[in-house]
Amino acid sequence: MRQPHKADAADIHRLISECPPLDLNSVYTYLLLSEYFGATCVLAGDNDTLLGFVSGYVPPERPDTLFVWQVAVHERARGQSLGRRMLQSLLQRPALAHIQYLETTVGPDNRASRAMFGGLARKLLAPVNEQPLFERHMFGEHAHEDEPLLRIGPFTSTSLP
């Protein structure tokens, strides 16, 4: 597992395209994430094959919070807790030792993501709170389900396995 670099953006884009129902963003988005938010993103791979990617950032108004934007795990690596392990790897970075909360949005029907974040919360010995954030109608003409906010925490870096 490692921090992404600009040269990884096209491979990240390809991985996301192979991981429905994730929203596919432009290669430019993944270039920006790798260049400016690499410290809060992580790649996982096997030899030269990209198997997982987590993108996140620290919201300026909540410096104790890591917002996780996307967690992608290629179908070849599913069922091996790769998503949770990538998140744990991120939270173990010295630059993120001050993080006490993890936030993300997960659709109500995305059972795999909900199970992964629930498992992470159990490992962190932290509660999970859910509240509405982005409702279906906010997406306009684009068919999209609600994206409620999941907030895990508080936790400390010492609670990481």
pLDDT in tens, the chain (161 residues): 999 999 999 999 999 999 988 889 999 999 999 999 999 999 999 778 899 999 999 999 999 999 999 999 999 999 899 999 999 999 999 999 999 999 999 888 888 889 999 999 999 999 999 897 666 665 667 666 767 899 999 998 656 66
Q: Helices marked H in the chain — which ranges?
A: 9-17, 27-36, 82-91, 111-124
Q: What is the pTM of this model?
A: 0.88
Number of compact structural domains in the chain: 1
Task: Provide the domain limits for residue 42.
Answer: 6-159
Is 94 domain-assigned? yes
Inter-residue contact 3 to 42 (CB < 8 Å) = yes
- 130 occurs within a structural domain: yes
Residue 26, in any domain of the structure = yes
Is the residue at 53 inside a domain? yes
Residues of 78-116 as b/e, b for ≥16 C-beta within 10 angstroms? eeeebbbbbbbebbeeeeeeebbbbbbbbbeebeebbeb
Structure tokens given for 44: 């996982």
- What are the φ/ψ torsions at residue 106 (nearest 5 degrees)? -140, 125
Q: Which residues of 2-38 are buried (b: 16+ CB within 10 A; e: fewer)?
A: eebeeebbebbbebbeebeebeebeeebbbebbeebb
Residue 12 lies inside a defined structural domain of this protein: yes
Residue 106 lies in a domain: yes
Whether 154 is in a domain gets the answer: yes
In a domain, 1, yes or no: no
CATH number where 138 lies: 3.40.630.30
